[in-house]
């Protein structure tokens, strides 16, 4: 099981960025993929998740209405679309999975144990 997050960079406040989480070694379409972030001097926080049934669930109120998830099955990739970025969104972003499949109720609520390397997002003018 491998996950690779990419797409980070420097963006101005109000801008947009799309992060990718490419999966390999497992049937990623079937499993929930979770996005976390860790800002400077802060603890890692769980943001949102897309289940194996392609239902998204938010865990961080501050990203609701601005961040969305979608999946490209052909590319085995989950995308995190981030709009209206703010300086407080500056963080290292990670994708992860606990291999909770679409046959598991509330799969997004379970823990994760496979992590990809993070990608840095910096929101600054």
Percent of the chain's residues with pLDDT above 70 = 100
104: pLDDT strictly greater than 90: no
**Cβ-Cβ contacts under 8 Å for 33 (sequence gap 6 or more):** 3, 21, 23, 49, 50, 69, 71, 78, 95, 96, 97
Show the DSSP H helices in the chain as ranges: none
pLDDT in tens, 38-67: 999 999 999 999 999 999 999 999 999 999
Structure tokens at 18: 């799309």
**Residues in the chain, total:** 125
What was the pLDDT predicted at 95? 97
Structure tokens at 112: 């994760």
CA separation for the pair 110, 105 (Å, rounded): 10
21: pLDDT strictly greater than 90: yes
**Cβ-Cβ contacts under 8 Å for 35 (sequence gap 6 or more):** 19, 21, 46, 47, 48, 49, 69, 80, 93, 94, 95, 96
Mean pLDDT (whole number) for 97-115: 92
């Amino acid at each position: 099981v491998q996950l690779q997050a990419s797409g980070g960079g420097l963006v101005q406040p109000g801008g947009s960025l799309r992060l990718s989480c490419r999966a390999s070694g497992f049937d990623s379409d079937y499993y929930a993929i979770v996005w976390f972030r860790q800002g400077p001097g802060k603890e890692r926080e769980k943001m949102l998740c897309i289940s194996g049934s392609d239902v998204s669930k938010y865990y961080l109120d501050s990203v609701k209405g601005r961040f969305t998830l979608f999946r490209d099955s052909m590319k085995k990739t989950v995308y995190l679309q981030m709009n209206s970025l703010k300086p407080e969104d500056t963080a290292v972003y990670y994708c992860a999975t606990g291999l909770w499949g679409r046959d598991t109720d509330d799969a997004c609520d379970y823990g994760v144990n496979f992590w990809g390397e993070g990608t840095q997002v910096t929101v600054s003018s």
